Amino acid sequence: MYLKYPVKRGETWDVPYMYYHIIKQRFEYRPDSALVYTCLSENQKISTEIGEFNCVNYYFREKPAEDVLEYWDYFISYTPGVGLIEMDIKSALDNRMIQKIIIVEYKTK
């Protein structure tokens, strides 16, 4: 399970650690390690250029590669029925923004 829903604030769970191996060109996982996900909030309003969304916010920390010294903190905002609304990836070392993803369009059926 990746993103748990429904979920309560403060709840944590383990997710198998998967990564993309560039040389082998495939996804692999490390059976001896897991990412620990935490629900930060159950219903936070996030405003974007295309509207306002009620989001569940999740957090986990990852070391992006063995040769990278720092860890990265992932902050994920997700709306059930829509999907990913926003994701910030920040350095755990100095809190600088590494990557930001924001929804720009969505369609529902």
Q: What is this structure's pTM?
A: 0.88
* pLDDT score recorded for residue 1: 56
Grouped pLDDT means (10 residues each) for the chain, 109 residues: 91 90 87 90 97 98 85 97 97 97 92
Q: From start to end of the chain, where are the E strands?
A: 12-21, 26-48, 51-62, 72-79, 83-91, 97-102
Sheet holding 97-102, edge to edge: 12-21, 26-48, 51-62, 72-79, 83-91, 97-102
Residues 15, 19, 24, 25, CA torsion sign: positive
